[in-house]
């Protein structure tokens, strides 16, 4: 007996098969772009087309092999090879430059970090056990401990990637929600302070606390100064698993919670709940992704698998966020869509 599915599979391979082949080759594409991002090729092409020989000389690489990498990238619309055999930037390649708003260069650079990359080789173990592979590849250390202690090159790339994304997205998020109703805002896990800076620039009557581990906030002062908000920000270092600063009216967590499993998130929210005390008007503002229902493609659905495989974190649905918040001494007031792929989950203490 022949089913309709069998009949389709007996036909000559068509467009769907080719699309699936390209999906299966996704790791090859990512690896190619990672190499070109590390080399800074897009920056070298910012002033116009150049030959592979010139690019190889500047990057200290093997010219024939560099050509193969560029040709592969050009096949997916990143860079283009001209008739004179020189390569030039395309609109997509512009985002591999270091100096453009919304640059993805350092994100592409960071995605090739050895343990991040190798986690995917053990993804089958994760789907069987529910456990991430990152800790065993990092000698028991979590993602952030390992970066800071063992991989300074990639730690720098990671911080630059987050800074670039914040630089383009943070002002739009600051404009989308009335942060100005809070006199003192503590940005928990705020890194260099670009998100907090965007809020304080938008709302000049507010003041801020930038809280993160020492190595993360060490490079914050010049960022805060350049944004003109240094005199309104208190820098506090520490681990949000142990304690967070008291005295704020709002606690923001931007792209922090998705890095961690529910138990760890409850611990962080518990520390914030302790810091808030009896202030019924205080708010927790979680700026993170919300996984949509249905089968439509969405970056957050793929990011969720990355979180599962590498560090044990996760992306969450509306129901997930509601449950997590309620288990931590808060209730959800509203979920505000903002600059994609983020929403603002606004919660108050109960």
The residues, any chain, with a CB within 8 Å of residue 337's CB and separated by 6 or more, are: 343
Rounded-to-integer distance, Cα 208 and Cα 202, Å = 13
Q: What are phi and psi of 210, to 5 degrees?
A: -105, 115
* Active-site residue identified among 7, 258, 298, 336: 258
Question: What does the DSSP 8-state code read for residue 339?
Answer: S
Say what angle helices 26-39 and 15-24 make with each other, to 10 degrees.
Answer: 50
Q: What are phi and psi of 329, to 5 degrees?
A: 90, 20
Query: Which residue reads 């390649």 in tokens?
Result: 93
Judge whether 258 counts as a catalytic residue: yes
Question: What does the DSSP 8-state code read for residue 316?
Answer: B
Which one, of 217, 311, 299, lies nearest residue 258 by Cα?
A: 311
Query: Which residue reads 């730690």 in tokens?
Result: 155
* Rounded (10°) CA dihedral 16, 21, 26, 29: -110
Rounded-to-integer distance, Cα 115 and Cα 43, Å = 27
- β-pair partners for 344: 287, 336
Give catalytic residues, as residue numbers: 258
């Amino acid at each position: 007996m022949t089913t309709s599915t069998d009949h389709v599979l007996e036909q000559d391979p068509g467009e769907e098969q080719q699309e699936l082949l390209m999906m299966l080759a996704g790791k090859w594409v990512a690896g190619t772009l990672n190499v070109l991002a590390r080399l800074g090729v897009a920056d070298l092409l910012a002033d116009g087309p150049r030959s592979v020989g010139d690019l190889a000389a500047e990057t200290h690489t093997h010219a024939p092999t560099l050509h193969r990498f560029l040709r592969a990238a050009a096949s997916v619309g990143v860079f283009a090879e001209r008739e004179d055999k020189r390569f030039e930037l395309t609109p997509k390649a512009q985002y591999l430059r270091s100096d453009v708003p919304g640059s993805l260069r350092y994100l592409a650079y960071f995605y090739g970090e050895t343990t991040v990359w190798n986690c995917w080789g053990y993804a089958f173990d994760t789907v069987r056990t529910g456990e991430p592979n990152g800790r065993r590849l990092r000698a028991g250390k979590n993602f952030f401990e390992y970066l800071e202690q063992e991989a300074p090159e990639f730690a720098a790339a990671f911080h630059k990637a987050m800074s670039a994304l914040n630089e383009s997205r943070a002002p739009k998020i600051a404009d989308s929600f009335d942060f100005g109703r809070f006199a003192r805002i503590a940005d928990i896990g705020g890194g260099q302070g670009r998100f907090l800076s965007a809020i304080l620039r938008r709302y000049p009557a507010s003041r801020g606390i930038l809280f993160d581990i020492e190595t993360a906030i060490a490079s914050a002062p010049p960022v805060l100064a350049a944004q003109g908000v240094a005199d309104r920000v208190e820098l506090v270092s520490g681990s949000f698993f142990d304690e967070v600063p008291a005295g704020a009216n709002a606690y923001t967590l931007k792209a922090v919670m998705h890095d961690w499993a529910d138990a760890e998130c409850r611990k962080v929210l518990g520390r914030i709940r302790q810091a808030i005390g009896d202030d019924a008007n205080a708010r927790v503002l979680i700026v993170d992704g919300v996984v949509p229902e249905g089968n439509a493609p969405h970056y957050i659905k793929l990011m969720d698998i990355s979180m599962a495989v590498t560090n044990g974190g996760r992306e969450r649905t509306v129901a997930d966020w509601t449950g997590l918040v309620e288990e931590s001494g808060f209730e959800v007031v509203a979920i505000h869509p903002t600059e994609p792929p983020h929403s603002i989950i606004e919660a108050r203490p109960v």
